[in-house]
Amino acid sequence: MEDNTFEQIANRYDSKDRIDLAQIIVQEVRTELQNSKSASLIDYGAGTGLVSLELVDLVDSVLLVDASEQMLKSAAAKISQREITNSEVLASDFTQETPELKADIVLMSLVLLHIPDTKKILHELFNVLNNGGRLIIVDFDKTDKINHPKVHNGFAHKALENILSGVGFKSNNIRTFHHGARIFMNQDASMFISTSVK
Protein backbone atom coordinates (compact mmCIF):
# COMPACT_ATOMS: atom_id res chain seq x y z
CA MET A 1 0.00 0.00 0.00
CA GLU A 2 1.34 3.41 -0.84
CA ASP A 3 1.50 5.03 2.58
CA ASN A 4 2.78 8.32 1.21
CA THR A 5 -0.34 8.63 -0.95
CA PHE A 6 -2.51 8.32 2.14
CA GLU A 7 -0.23 10.74 4.02
CA GLN A 8 -0.76 13.31 1.28
CA ILE A 9 -4.55 13.02 1.13
CA ALA A 10 -5.12 12.78 4.90
CA ASN A 11 -6.08 16.43 5.29
CA ARG A 12 -8.73 16.29 2.59
CA TYR A 13 -9.74 12.67 3.12
CA ASP A 14 -13.09 13.35 4.77
CA SER A 15 -14.96 14.37 1.62
CA LYS A 16 -18.76 14.40 1.56
CA ASP A 17 -18.78 11.21 -0.56
CA ARG A 18 -16.51 9.39 1.89
CA ILE A 19 -18.54 10.56 4.88
CA ASP A 20 -21.80 9.46 3.20
CA LEU A 21 -20.34 6.03 2.35
CA ALA A 22 -18.96 5.68 5.89
CA GLN A 23 -22.44 6.36 7.31
CA ILE A 24 -23.89 3.52 5.21
CA ILE A 25 -21.15 1.22 6.52
CA VAL A 26 -21.67 2.41 10.11
CA GLN A 27 -25.38 1.54 9.97
CA GLU A 28 -24.57 -1.98 8.80
CA VAL A 29 -21.75 -2.59 11.29
CA ARG A 30 -23.83 -1.26 14.19
CA THR A 31 -26.27 -4.16 13.75
CA GLU A 32 -23.30 -6.58 13.97
CA LEU A 33 -22.11 -4.99 17.21
CA GLN A 34 -25.26 -5.44 19.28
CA ASN A 35 -24.42 -6.98 22.68
CA SER A 36 -20.73 -6.05 22.40
CA LYS A 37 -20.61 -3.59 25.30
CA SER A 38 -17.72 -5.37 27.02
CA ALA A 39 -15.77 -6.01 23.81
CA SER A 40 -12.50 -4.47 22.67
CA LEU A 41 -12.47 -3.43 19.00
CA ILE A 42 -9.53 -2.83 16.69
CA ASP A 43 -10.28 -0.88 13.53
CA TYR A 44 -7.47 -1.95 11.20
CA GLY A 45 -6.81 0.60 8.48
CA ALA A 46 -8.94 3.06 10.42
CA GLY A 47 -7.91 6.11 8.42
CA THR A 48 -9.43 9.22 9.99
CA GLY A 49 -11.90 7.16 12.03
CA LEU A 50 -14.93 7.83 9.83
CA VAL A 51 -16.40 4.42 10.69
CA SER A 52 -15.09 3.33 14.08
CA LEU A 53 -15.53 6.67 15.86
CA GLU A 54 -19.25 6.29 15.15
CA LEU A 55 -19.25 2.93 16.98
CA VAL A 56 -17.61 3.90 20.29
CA ASP A 57 -20.91 3.75 22.19
CA LEU A 58 -21.36 0.05 21.34
CA VAL A 59 -18.06 -1.38 22.65
CA ASP A 60 -15.79 -1.08 25.66
CA SER A 61 -12.77 0.25 23.77
CA VAL A 62 -11.67 1.14 20.24
CA LEU A 63 -8.10 1.08 18.96
CA LEU A 64 -7.71 2.80 15.59
CA VAL A 65 -4.74 1.28 13.76
CA ASP A 66 -3.36 2.70 10.53
CA ALA A 67 -0.01 2.86 8.74
CA SER A 68 -0.56 6.55 7.95
CA GLU A 69 0.45 8.86 10.80
CA GLN A 70 -1.33 11.79 9.13
CA MET A 71 -4.62 9.90 9.00
CA LEU A 72 -4.25 9.04 12.67
CA LYS A 73 -3.50 12.66 13.56
CA SER A 74 -6.86 13.55 12.09
CA ALA A 75 -8.52 10.68 14.00
CA ALA A 76 -6.80 11.71 17.26
CA ALA A 77 -8.03 15.28 16.78
CA LYS A 78 -11.61 14.00 16.44
CA ILE A 79 -11.23 11.88 19.59
CA SER A 80 -10.03 14.94 21.47
CA GLN A 81 -12.67 17.32 20.06
CA ARG A 82 -15.52 14.91 20.80
CA GLU A 83 -14.05 14.04 24.22
CA ILE A 84 -14.20 10.32 23.44
CA THR A 85 -12.68 8.51 26.40
CA ASN A 86 -12.56 4.89 25.20
CA SER A 87 -10.57 5.29 21.97
CA GLU A 88 -6.93 5.67 21.05
CA VAL A 89 -4.75 5.48 17.94
CA LEU A 90 -1.77 3.33 17.01
CA ALA A 91 0.49 3.74 13.97
CA SER A 92 1.23 0.25 12.70
CA ASP A 93 1.28 -1.80 9.51
CA PHE A 94 0.43 -5.43 10.24
CA THR A 95 1.69 -6.45 6.80
CA GLN A 96 5.19 -5.55 8.03
CA GLU A 97 5.03 -6.39 11.72
CA THR A 98 2.15 -7.14 14.05
CA PRO A 99 2.47 -5.76 17.60
CA GLU A 100 1.42 -7.79 20.64
CA LEU A 101 -2.24 -6.87 20.61
CA LYS A 102 -5.42 -8.74 21.44
CA ALA A 103 -9.02 -7.81 20.70
CA ASP A 104 -12.50 -9.31 20.76
CA ILE A 105 -13.46 -7.74 17.43
CA VAL A 106 -11.38 -6.62 14.46
CA LEU A 107 -13.04 -4.38 11.89
CA MET A 108 -11.61 -3.80 8.45
CA SER A 109 -13.64 -1.37 6.36
CA LEU A 110 -12.63 -0.85 2.71
CA VAL A 111 -9.05 -1.81 3.56
CA LEU A 112 -8.61 -5.36 2.28
CA LEU A 113 -8.73 -4.19 -1.33
CA HIS A 114 -5.53 -2.15 -0.73
CA ILE A 115 -3.52 -5.09 0.67
CA PRO A 116 -1.82 -7.27 -1.96
CA ASP A 117 -1.51 -10.46 0.14
CA THR A 118 -5.06 -11.16 1.37
CA LYS A 119 -4.21 -14.41 3.11
CA LYS A 120 -1.25 -12.96 5.03
CA ILE A 121 -3.21 -10.04 6.51
CA LEU A 122 -6.16 -12.27 7.43
CA HIS A 123 -3.71 -14.61 9.16
CA GLU A 124 -2.26 -11.67 11.15
CA LEU A 125 -5.75 -10.52 12.17
CA PHE A 126 -6.67 -14.08 13.17
CA ASN A 127 -3.72 -14.05 15.58
CA VAL A 128 -4.76 -10.69 17.05
CA LEU A 129 -8.25 -11.94 17.90
CA ASN A 130 -9.11 -13.57 21.19
CA ASN A 131 -10.62 -17.06 20.92
CA GLY A 132 -14.27 -16.65 19.97
CA GLY A 133 -13.46 -13.19 18.62
CA ARG A 134 -14.97 -11.82 15.42
CA LEU A 135 -13.52 -10.40 12.25
CA ILE A 136 -15.84 -7.99 10.43
CA ILE A 137 -14.84 -7.05 6.88
CA VAL A 138 -16.64 -4.51 4.74
CA ASP A 139 -15.44 -4.28 1.16
CA PHE A 140 -16.51 -4.24 -2.46
CA ASP A 141 -17.94 -7.17 -4.36
CA LYS A 142 -15.75 -8.27 -7.26
CA THR A 143 -16.27 -6.23 -10.43
CA ASP A 144 -14.62 -6.40 -13.83
CA LYS A 145 -15.05 -2.63 -14.24
CA ILE A 146 -11.99 -1.98 -12.05
CA ASN A 147 -8.46 -2.66 -13.19
CA HIS A 148 -5.74 -1.07 -11.07
CA PRO A 149 -2.28 -2.40 -10.24
CA LYS A 150 -2.48 -1.38 -6.56
CA VAL A 151 -6.08 -2.34 -5.77
CA HIS A 152 -8.02 -5.62 -5.81
CA ASN A 153 -11.13 -5.27 -7.99
CA GLY A 154 -13.29 -6.38 -5.08
CA PHE A 155 -13.81 -9.90 -3.77
CA ALA A 156 -15.94 -12.87 -4.78
CA HIS A 157 -17.75 -14.20 -1.70
CA LYS A 158 -16.83 -17.85 -2.21
CA ALA A 159 -13.15 -17.10 -2.84
CA LEU A 160 -12.94 -14.91 0.26
CA GLU A 161 -14.77 -17.53 2.31
CA ASN A 162 -12.21 -20.13 1.21
CA ILE A 163 -9.31 -17.91 2.29
CA LEU A 164 -10.97 -17.17 5.66
CA SER A 165 -11.60 -20.88 6.26
CA GLY A 166 -8.03 -21.69 5.23
CA VAL A 167 -6.72 -19.23 7.82
CA GLY A 168 -8.85 -20.92 10.49
CA PHE A 169 -11.98 -18.80 10.77
CA LYS A 170 -15.29 -20.55 11.42
CA SER A 171 -18.89 -19.67 10.50
CA ASN A 172 -18.08 -17.16 7.79
CA ASN A 173 -21.16 -15.19 6.84
CA ILE A 174 -20.82 -12.92 3.79
CA ARG A 175 -23.65 -10.90 2.25
CA THR A 176 -24.05 -7.90 -0.02
CA PHE A 177 -25.81 -5.00 1.70
CA HIS A 178 -25.44 -1.92 -0.49
CA HIS A 179 -25.36 -0.97 -4.17
CA GLY A 180 -24.15 2.53 -5.01
CA ALA A 181 -23.35 4.76 -7.95
CA ARG A 182 -19.68 5.62 -8.51
CA ILE A 183 -18.57 4.39 -5.07
CA PHE A 184 -15.59 2.28 -6.20
CA MET A 185 -13.01 4.28 -8.17
CA ASN A 186 -15.86 6.21 -9.81
CA GLN A 187 -17.63 3.02 -10.86
CA ASP A 188 -21.00 1.72 -9.71
CA ALA A 189 -20.41 -1.10 -7.26
CA SER A 190 -21.83 -3.11 -4.38
CA MET A 191 -20.45 -3.66 -0.88
CA PHE A 192 -20.53 -6.78 1.26
CA ILE A 193 -20.15 -7.37 4.98
CA SER A 194 -18.38 -10.50 6.16
CA THR A 195 -18.45 -11.78 9.73
CA SER A 196 -16.15 -14.59 10.81
CA VAL A 197 -15.46 -16.19 14.19
CA LYS A 198 -12.08 -17.37 15.46
Summarize pLDDT for 69-105 with one digit per residue, the tens. Answer: 999 999 999 999 999 999 999 999 999 988 999 999 9
Residues 168, 124, 175, 48, Cα dihedral to 10° = 160
Q: How far is CA 92 from CA 69, 96, 98, 166, 179, in A?
A: 9, 8, 8, 25, 32
Q: 197 in a domain, yes or no?
A: no
| Amino acid 6: pLDDT | 63
* Residue of 154 and 171 predicted with greater confidence: 154
pTM for the model: 0.93
Plot region of 110 (φ>0 → left; ψ -120 to 50 → alpha; else → beta): left
Q: 113 in a domain, yes or no?
A: yes
| 2 pLDDT more than 50 | no
What CATH number should be reported for the domain holding residue 62? 3.40.50.150
Q: 167 in a domain, yes or no?
A: yes
When pLDDT is cut at 50, 70 and 90, the band that residue 171 belongs to is confident
Q: 59 in a domain, yes or no?
A: yes
| Amino acid 76: pLDDT | 97
Q: 41 in a domain, yes or no?
A: yes
Q: 195 in a domain, yes or no?
A: no
| Amino acid 14: pLDDT | 81
Summarize pLDDT for 108-133 with one digit per residue, the tens. Answer: 999 999 999 999 999 999 999 999 99
Summarize pLDDT for 15-59 with one digit per residue, the tens. Answer: 888 899 999 999 999 999 999 999 999 999 999 999 999 999 999
Residues 23, 129, 117, 18, Cα dihedral to 10° = 10
Q: 32 in a domain, yes or no?
A: yes
Give the count of domains, the chain.
1
Q: How far apart are CA 8 and CA 5, in angstroms?
A: 5
Task: Name the residue range of residue 105's domain.
Answer: 3-188
Q: 160 in a domain, yes or no?
A: yes
| 11 pLDDT more than 80 | no
Burial of residue 175 (CB within 10 Å: 0-12, 13-18, 19+) is exposed
